[in-house]
Structure formats: structure tokens, C-alpha cells
Amino acid sequence: MERLSIVYFIFATGKANGGHYRSLALTAEHMAKYHNVKIIVLGYTYSHIIQDAPVESQFVYFNGLNISSALRKIKACIDGNSILHAFDLYAFFIVRLLRLKLGNKIALTKCGGPNPKGYFPKVRNLVLFSQEDFAYFSVIPRYNSSKLYLIPNRTEDFITDTTKVEEIKNRFNLHTYDKVILRICRISRMYQKSIVQSIHLHQYANDQGCKTALIILGNVQDQGVIDQLKNDLPDSVFFLTEDRYTANAKEVIEVADWVVGTGRGFMEASAKSRVMFAVSMQDDLPMLIGTHNFDQAFAFNFSERIIFEKQHIVDNRIDIIKLFSKAEHEASVKKQSLVWFKEYFSIQGAIEKYGSMYKDLLDDTKDDKDLVLHWFKFIRANLGTWYRELRKLVK
């Protein structure tokens, strides 16, 4: 196997601990077994997830205006033979500029989220995590000459931090409950719907006679959301927001019996053979995932945009009751969850696909107008960050 030089790029701001940072860290770690790999973090903060990854990495401050200085620092450590692969739109802006100067082969990964409603850059090599995105870009004339690669998000098995799990169990007296539900996400308006559905699941299970606790685990990004959510909640709903638990939240998944998951979080919970729920577009309860509806959820990368069949929504409440009324049914669901992890979510399958892709990349085209539009997109998206950074300096 030819050993390639691959440089990954990602843009970071705030705590920089979202799922796509973990996806990149894991992908780079495994690609480094076969190729020369480096990660360059652009933006305002050096993501601790990338720093902690067993791969060479570098931070370059970039705010959209200091283009020359950022390019100068990056060019000092790469050459025209390196493949440049961005894991978000903002990092891809710098990658496009580097291609113009050095002639590199380049690629972009759209890690998830809804289909773009506004500007999305021209790109010849585009990696997509979901069938939803693949179907969308396949019919857009702008990408007729592009290569689209469907490489779903992947994860790997990992070690549970039993000390933290016991801490949480003792802190919330979880041994007094029949079932524990877990939702791991940033506490913000973006994930409010999934949190609300988790609360409804908790309420429904309790109403049906199953004494259930719910843990919402994640960083608080919008205090107004958590204040609103806490109104009139029972004592058996717990918010866990300390960095000790949120920094690597997957380590405590086994504190729960049931997990309401999205994207990468769904896959990580399946690795621990949990009962899995996905957010439903049509109902106030999350959907219990089984063999009958797995494909629908997988097509949308287990996002909050899944549209389930009407009969599945009707049957969902009965299926939930079976979880705690028939022990063998819950055991079967948990077993199937682990099967999905091994068949669909393991990282090794993705590594093989990336290796094939890098050998077959198309040359990107020069489009000055689109590059300017890309820069405007970056500037507009970063106005809020500029304001917050300026306030810090004033203080």
C-alpha cells in the first residue's frame, strides 16, 4: 500500500468538543496506521479532542481576516504532494486557498446537519455521512461533475470509566430506579427537541408503572434553555453539566439502560449494547429503534430529522412498555444494538473507503467568484465570535 501524506483541517471555536471533532480524531488515528497524517486546527481554540488524539497536530489562529499569516504558517509544514481534507466549510476555505498556491488534491467532508439552505461551496470531492445528504447532492446540477462519497460516521469500542459511572449512580441514587435513560448533548436550542422528547419518554415510562430516572448530560450553551427545561420537572430528571463528565461523555454511557441518541452518540451507545431511541419528527416521544425501522433512522444519520412510518409511531408506545414488562424483549433489543455496531458503525470499514477515495481524487477547479462567496459566508458566520472576542479584550 502506497503511504500517502494526508493533512486534515478543522475549524474550532468555543469548547470545540462536538461530534465531528471526535469523528476526525478517530479517523486520523486509524488512517495514521497506513499513511503519514497530521491535523491542523484553525480558528480560535485548540480543541482538546484533537490535542489528545495520538496524531500529530497543530493549531493556527484564524479569524477570517488574517489570511496571509495563517497561510504562511500552514505552508511551512505542508507541500504540494499532501492531500488536504477539511472537516467543515470554514476549514475548507483555507484548503481551497492552499490548493491555488500549492496545487494539492483536496476534499471536504460534510459531517451532518440538515441539507444546506443557502450557500455551499463548489467541491469536486465531497464526503457525506448520511444517505439524506447523498440523495440531496446527487440531484444538484452544481455537483454534477463532482465525486460524492457516502462514508457514514464511524466509531470504535471504548473503555467505560467505571469510577465515574459509580459516582453518578451514587450521586443520583440510581439504584432505586427500575430504568435509567440517558441523553448526551449540548444543552442549547439546537438540541432542545431531543431533550424534550427524552423528558416525555421518562414521563411515559413512569406513567406506565416503570420507575425511571433521566440524566441530561452535556455542556450548557444556552442558560435560557436549561432554565426553561427545569420548570415543573420531577425530582427524577437530573442535569449533569460538569466538565469532568462532559469532556468524554461516552465513558459513562453504561450508567444507563436506555439511550436517546443522535449521530455519533447513537453509534457509541450501540457499542455498549444499550436500548436505543432516535428523535422523531412526527411524535412527542423518541422512537425505539429495532430491525423494522433501523434503515429509516440510519438513512438520516440518526439525526433529529427522521420521518418514521405512521404505523411505527402507533406501535412505539406498545414497544416501549414491552421493554420493562418482558425482560427477554429488552435483552433482544440490546443484543441487536451491538450487532448494528459491529456491522455498520465500526471504524475499519470507513478507513478502507477513505484509502480508496484518496487514490482517486479529482483535481479541483478554480472559481474566483465562488471563493469570494465562500469568504463572505465565513465572515458572516463569525460576526458573533468576533463580538465575543472583542468583549474579552475590552474587559
Angstrom distance (rounded) from CA 123 to CA 110 = 11
Matching CATH number, 5-154+348-394, of 3.40.50.2000, 3.40.50.300, 3.40.50.150, 3.30.43.10: 3.40.50.2000
Angstrom distance (rounded) from CA 39 to CA 50 = 8
Look at 11 and 113; give whichever has higher pLDDT.
11
Q: How confident is the model at residue 391 (pLDDT cuts 50, 70, 90)?
A: low
| pLDDT tens figures, 116-174 | 988 999 999 999 999 999 999 999 999 999 999 999 888 888 999 999 999 999 999 99
Asked if 32 contacts 2 with a C-beta cutoff of 8 angstroms, the reply is: no
State the average pLDDT over residues 11-20: 86
| pLDDT tens figures, 215-242 | 999 999 999 999 999 888 999 999 999 9
Angstrom distance (rounded) from CA 127 to CA 149 = 5
Provide CATH code, domain 162-345: 3.40.50.2000
The whole-number pLDDT of residue 189 equals: 92
Asked if 130 contacts 303 with a C-beta cutoff of 8 angstroms, the reply is: yes
Under DSSP, is residue 257 helix (H, G, I), strand (E, B) or coil? coil
- State the average pLDDT for the chain: 93
The whole-number pLDDT of residue 395 equals: 59
- Domain residues of the chain, as ranges? 5-154+348-394, 162-345
Q: Which residues contact 209 (CB under 8 A, 6 or more apart)?
A: none
Look at 79 and 257; give whichever has higher pLDDT.
257
Angstrom distance (rounded) from CA 197 to CA 203 = 10
The whole-number pLDDT of residue 394 equals: 60
Q: How confident is the model at residue 390 (pLDDT cuts 50, 70, 90)?
A: low
Q: Around 219, how many Cα atoms within 13 Å sit in the side-chain half-sphere?
A: 11
| pLDDT tens figures, 357-384 | 999 999 988 888 999 999 999 998 888 7
pLDDT at 49 over 90: yes
Task: Give Cα separations from 96 to 80, 122, 178, 362 (angstroms).
Answer: 13, 10, 54, 14
The count of other CB atoms within 10 Å of the CB of residue 378 is: 20
The whole-number pLDDT of residue 241 equals: 95
- Choose the weakest-confidence range: 156-160, 193-197, 271-275: 156-160
**CA angle 25–377–192, rounded 5-degree value:** 60
| pLDDT tens figures, 62-105 | 999 999 999 999 999 998 999 999 999 999 999 999 999 999 99
pLDDT at 389 over 70: no
Matching fold, domains 5-154+348-394 and 162-345: yes
Let me know how long the chain is. Answer: 395
| pLDDT tens figures, 343-356 | 888 888 889 899 99
Look at 384 and 59; give whichever has higher pLDDT.
59
% the chain with pLDDT above 70:
98
